[in-house]
């Protein structure tokens, strides 16, 4: 497994040791059950996989490399490197500036960028139009392109099925950086359309089966389909790919749904109308989500999910857990005001909430603790230390490590 050169202040001795022991006891990653990390009166239930993934560590390594290699130059990020405030604020503190926000709105004018500047492409990738514009300005974009290889895998798969005559259905959030980039790339090879969820997919299916009008479809998907999209022609052969941070089970559900629609419409000939794209699901997203699902099978009083409030993959983890436990999506330990008050985020409504009496007043409290793929381990450690400080009888995390067994839960 590749070791990345990321700043030490993102690493946690405690969380790193827990992960190392789990890795050593499960080299083939076949055990997705959680582990218990007990401090005495409080136990943290840690899923098998959480925190930085390959693509995030690669992006961070190359960003700090760009800073070291370009003293005196202006350094820009196309948008947030990853969806985590601690990482992005740290990079801004190193002198990097953002050109766009997470929805593509301009923060720094394009006309001010030239070939003397360093522009870093984030892990989400970018559109072909933006690449061409930067190249036209003489900007070197390959050296510090941190696009996640699993995002690029989606692009390659889209190109492959698009060249075979299939329309690309993208399961994603149409304003998200990654989905905008994937749409731009897939649109080079085939008509493309973005669906947010199964209800969007159902509207497309209604049209495919003659139960909805083209006008209704075009109105609903305005701004979410390629130019000159012709529903009569372009929905006869389809394949599904995804924004890699979406809920993997939902992507598969949507793909299976369209497969069933093609079977209903074309019978035995459905295979020539539906492209199997199961292999575009990101391994890290799958691992994190499957680990979260396994954690729902144990007894717990509540769940804490840590990550940036604009992080799609973190929101999926929070959604999974919220179906089973009181769940609080927080960005870091500062959101936990006290044993009685916690501030947290509701992703779907994009609102911050405050909850009282969030922590049970009892002995032997059990908390599922996990994070999104862009959250540093140090942030997890800070939450553990913050909560443990309220329990004078609790043992230290360092002492707890002496008896920690990775397969205990």
Q: Using one digit for the tens of pLDDT, what is the confidence trace for 122-169?
A: 999 999 999 999 999 999 999 999 999 999 999 999 999 999 999 999
User: What per-residue confidence (pLDDT) applies to 121?
Assistant: 94
The CATH T-level fold of domain 8-52+284-402 is Cobalt-precorrin-4 Transmethylase; domain 1 (3.40.1010)
Average pLDDT for the chain: 93
% of the chain at pLDDT higher than 70: 98
Question: Average of pLDDT values for 245-263?
Answer: 92
Q: Cα–Cα distance between 152 and 33 in angstroms, integer?
A: 30
| Axis crossing angle, helix 128-136 with helix 177-186, rounded to the nearest 10 | 90
Identify whether the C-beta of residue 55 lies closer than 8 Å to the C-beta of residue 82: no
Distance (Å, whole) CA 182 – CA 192: 10
pLDDT value at residue 407: 63
Distance between CA atoms of 310 and 291, rounded to whole angstroms? 22
- Cα–Cα distance measured from residue 177 to residue 123, given in angstroms and rounded to the nearest whole number: 10
Task: Indicate the pTM of the whole model.
Answer: 0.88
Could you give the CA distance from residue 48 to residue 290 in angstroms, rounded to a whole number?
9
Domain extents in the chain = 8-52+284-402, 54-136, 150-281
Q: Binning pLDDT at 50, 70 and 90, where does residue 355 land?
A: very high
- Selected residue with higher pLDDT from 385 and 408: 385
Class of domain 54-136: alpha beta
Residue scoring higher pLDDT (102 or 323): 323
| Residue 295: alpha-carbon gap to chain centroid | 19
User: Which residues, other chains included, contact 400 with Cβ-Cβ below 8 Å and sequence gap of 6+?
Assistant: 37, 38, 39
In angstroms, the CA 211 to CA 314 distance is 36
Over the stretch 204-253, which tens digit does the pLDDT of each residue have? Answer: 999 999 999 999 999 999 999 999 999 999 999 999 999 988 888 899 99
Q: Which residue shows structure tokens 């947030």?
A: 80
Binned at pLDDT 50, 70 and 90, residue 30 comes out as confident
- Do the first three CATH levels of 8-52+284-402 and 150-281 match, i.e. the same topology? yes
- 178 part of the active site: yes
- Residue pair 306/380 in contact (Cβ under 8 Å)? The answer is yes
Q: How many CB atoms lie within 10 A of CB 102?
A: 17
For the domain made up of 150-281, give the CATH fold.
Cobalt-precorrin-4 Transmethylase; domain 1 (3.40.1010)
- Kindly tell me if the per-residue pLDDT of 339 is higher than 90: yes
Answer with the residue of higher pLDDT: 406 or 223: 223
The answer to whether 218 touches 230, Cβ cutoff 8 Å, is no
> Which whole number is the average pLDDT over 178-203?
96
Confidence band of 279 (pLDDT split at 50, 70, 90): low
Rounded to whole angstroms, the Cα distance separating 355 from 349 reads 16
Give 48's DSSP letter.
S
Q: Please state the rounded mean pLDDT for residues 104-120.
A: 93
* Confidence band for 269, pLDDT divided at 50, 70 and 90: very high
In order of 124, 223, 238, 389, the CA distances from 259 in angstroms are 28, 25, 9, 53
Which of 57, 131, 177, 178 is labelled catalytic?
178
């Amino acid at each position: 497994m590749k070791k990345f050169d990321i700043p030490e202040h993102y690493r946690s001795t405690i969380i790193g040791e827990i992960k190392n022991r789990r890795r050593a006891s499960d080299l083939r990653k076949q055990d997705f059950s959680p582990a218990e990390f007990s401090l005495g009166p409080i136990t943290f239930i840690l899923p098998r996989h959480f925190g930085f993934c390959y693509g995030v560590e690669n992006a961070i390594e190359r960003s700090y490399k760009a800073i070291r290699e370009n003293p005196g130059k202006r350094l820009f990020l196309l948008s947030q490197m990853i969806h985590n405030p601690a990482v992005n604020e740290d990079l801004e503190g190193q002198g990097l500036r953002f050109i766009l926000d997470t929805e593509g709105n301009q923060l720094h004018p394009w006309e001010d960028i030239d070939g003397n500047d360093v522009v870093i492409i984030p892990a989400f990738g970018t559109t072909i139009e933006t690449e061409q514009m930067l190249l036209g300005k003489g900007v070197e974009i390959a050296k510090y392109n941190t696009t996640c290889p699993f995002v690029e895998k989606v692009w390659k798969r889209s190109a492959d099925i698009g060249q075979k005559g299939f329309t690309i259905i993208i399961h994603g959030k149409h304003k998200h950086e990654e989905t905008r980039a994937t749409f731009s790339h897939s649109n080079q090879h085939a008509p493309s359309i973005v669906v947010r969820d199964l209800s969007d997919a159902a509207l497309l299916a209604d049209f495919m089966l003659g139960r909805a009008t083209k006008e209704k479809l075009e109105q609903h998907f305005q701004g979410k389909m390629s130019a000159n999209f012709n529903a009569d022609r372009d929905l006869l052969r389809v394949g599904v790919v995804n924004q890699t941070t979406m809920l993997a089970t939902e992507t598969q559900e949507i793909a299976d749904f369209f497969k069933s629609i093609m079977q209903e419409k074309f019978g035995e000939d459905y295979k020539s109308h539906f492209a199997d794209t199961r292999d575009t699901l990101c391994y890290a997203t799958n691992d994190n989500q499957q680990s979260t699902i396994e954690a729902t099978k144990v007894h717990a009083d509540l769940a804490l999910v840590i990550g940036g409030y604009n992080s799609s993959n973190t929101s999926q983890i929070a959604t999974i857990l919220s179906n089973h436990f009181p769940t609080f999506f927080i960005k870091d330990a500062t959101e936990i005001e006290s044993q009685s008050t916690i501030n947290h985020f509701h992703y779907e409504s994009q609102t911050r909430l405050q909850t009282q009496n969030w922590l049970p007043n009892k002995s032997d409290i059990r908390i599922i603790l996990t994070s999104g793929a862009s959250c540093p381990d140090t942030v997890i450690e800070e939450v553990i230390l913050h909560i443990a400080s309220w329990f004078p009888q609790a043992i230290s995390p360092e002492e707890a490590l002496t008896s920690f067994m990775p397969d205990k839960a």
